[in-house]
Structure 1
Amino acid sequence: MSNGLRILVGAGSFADASAGLHLVRHLQGSFCTGLGGILIEDAEMLAACAIPHQHIVLSSGTTARAPSLSTVQMLLKADARAFRKLLTHTAGPNGADCAFTLAKGELVSTALRAARDWDVLVLGYREIHKLRGKIVLLQSSVPSSDEMIQASRMLSNHMPDVQITYTIKTDGDAPNSDPSSNARQFATLPDALAALARTNAQTVLVDFKNGPIRNHGDLLKLLEVARCPVIVFGPSNLPTLLEHNTQIPANTSVANDG
């Protein structure tokens, strides 16, 4: 591949961003020629924290008093500083040219709008446990792009047992859903997502140009069931999402916000 790709990492927190950048570190060299980051603040969460005496449900199932808006804003600023620092460190010698910005909105749609001028979007998702997961290629019957195959090989670190391919069949052949196989076939996207929900995945790679993920709703469902960073190739191939437009120029650096 003669020209490297520009990679944008989108996340709702530093923990999510860190998981995404951990993968990006394996895609350095000629594969990646530009790196950017966008930290997306959940507008609904900020609005809820502005209402007095609100409670939230913790992962344990118990409830607790929601943090104040000022506390959340302070934590977001700390996340932004940490995200930018790790982004620069990951980029190495070219770190000074990294693009970084803040945005408000829903994670997936906001990140997709920002990624229209980028070649690859990495949606961060914090690490749930330390067990090494599978590198999953989710594709349609159209073969994966060369870039996507190369990225999966770089991520699997020359260990083919770590890589698995999920293919959505579109012809009359009976799909093969053998869970012991490293190349599984499914009749529909929901079938593949159901299998993915039962898989310990380290990351999932998809291509908007070739499918089967083709819109915001599909990608949102994928991120929910995968529970790991999702790497999207060709985000510019997604149809226009919403009337608003958030973009990060691929070669623009953003000044520190202190």
Structure 2
Amino acid sequence: MAAPGPGHKRILVGAGSFADARAALAILDLLSGVGITDIGGLFLEDREVMEAATPRTSALVSPRGAIGTAPSRQVLRLMWRSDARAFRDRLIQLAARRALRWSFERAPGEPVAGLCNVAHSWDWLLIGHLPSGAHAGRVVGVFHGAAAGGDGVGELTEGLARSLGTGAELIADTLPEADILARLERVHAAAVVIDAGAGPFRTAAQIRALLAAARCPILVLGAAGIPSLVEYSTQIPQPPPGQAG
């Protein structure tokens, strides 16, 4: 796809599972031709999920009587370790194929909040989420102002749609946030593109609501415009020039 604007962009991609990370990396692979030089991966381990897990594997009975199992904390740790390793390996493969510098980190934290708290040092942020449907849906862009394309959202949205062989849909951010979210809930989206530096969706809470409505990877341009609410210990270092991680 064509590059919208100057190159030398740095993009952070993150998720809380390999399934979500894989969906984001598929989008990232298409974005690697738009001037991106550095990619960072961040795997977030949600401590609330860990606290809710049982000390040992236990049986669960659904309202319909079906019996399943709840993972123990030990099983959850093993799952996270395996998912993080798979995420890192896939990221390295992509970086090697595209000759990009890369870095990777595991950290505790709720995925959206954790990513938003470190996004200010990156140009773009890509939040992973496994799409809800089996087939690629539309790429949706939420653009700023009266005309699409002025902030780069329109061009990226249409370029991604062409690369995926699907349609594009553009939504003006002049609509109320609730209307935008309701519209996204009705659209089977493959990815959503927004600009945190210009549009209304910029806080962790707003982006979390967007992710819940769209149920697909979210590409956030203008990541420096995302406010960091708390001091966060994970600052993914960039490798020196010529070094891959």
**Pairing 1:164–2:169 present:** yes
Q: Which residue of 1 aligns with 2:84?
A: 80
- Shift of the 16–56 alpha-carbon distance from structure 1 to 2, 3 Å rule, reads farther
Tell me which amino acid in the other structure corresponds to 2:199.
G
Q: Which residue of 2 aligns with 1:152?
A: 157
Alignment of 1:215-226 (within 5 A): 215-226=203-214
**Pairing 1:90–2:94 present:** yes
- Residue ranges of structure 1 left out of the alignment (5+ in a row): 170-185
Distance 2:100 2:215 in 1: 31
- Shift of the 159–110 alpha-carbon distance from structure 1 to 2, 3 Å rule, reads closer
Tell me which amino acid in the other structure corresponds to 1:152.
T
Aligned with residue 104 of structure 2, among 97, 100, 104: 100
**Pairing 1:205–2:214 present:** no
Tell me which amino acid in the other structure corresponds to 2:49.
M
Indicate conservation of the 8 Å contact 2:191/2:218, yes or no: yes
Aligned with residue 219 of structure 2, among 231, 239, 255: 231
- Shift of the 161–38 alpha-carbon distance from structure 1 to 2, 3 Å rule, reads closer
Q: Deviations over 1:156-179 (max 9, x none)?
A: 12689711111132xxxxxxxxxx
- Shift of the 56–155 alpha-carbon distance from structure 1 to 2, 3 Å rule, reads farther
Q: Which residue of 1 aligns with 2:47?
A: 43
Distance 1:159 1:31 in 2: 19
Tell me which amino acid in the other structure corresponds to 1:194.
A
CA RMSD of aligned residues (A): 2.8
1:93 Cα deviation (Å)? 4.3
What is the total number of aligned residue pairs between the two structures?
Answer: 237
- Shift of the 56–103 alpha-carbon distance from structure 1 to 2, 3 Å rule, reads farther
Distance 1:57 1:241 in 2: 39
- Shift of the 94–82 alpha-carbon distance from structure 1 to 2, 3 Å rule, reads same
Tell me which amino acid in the other structure corresponds to 1:39.
F
1:250 Cα deviation (Å)? 3.6
Distance 1:130 1:159 in 2: 14
Q: What is the TM-score with the length of structure 1 in the denominator?
A: 0.81
Indicate conservation of the 8 Å contact 1:118/1:250, yes or no: no
Tell me which amino acid in the other structure corresponds to 1:67.
P
Q: Which residue of 2 aligns with 1:182?
A: none
Percent pairwise identity? 32
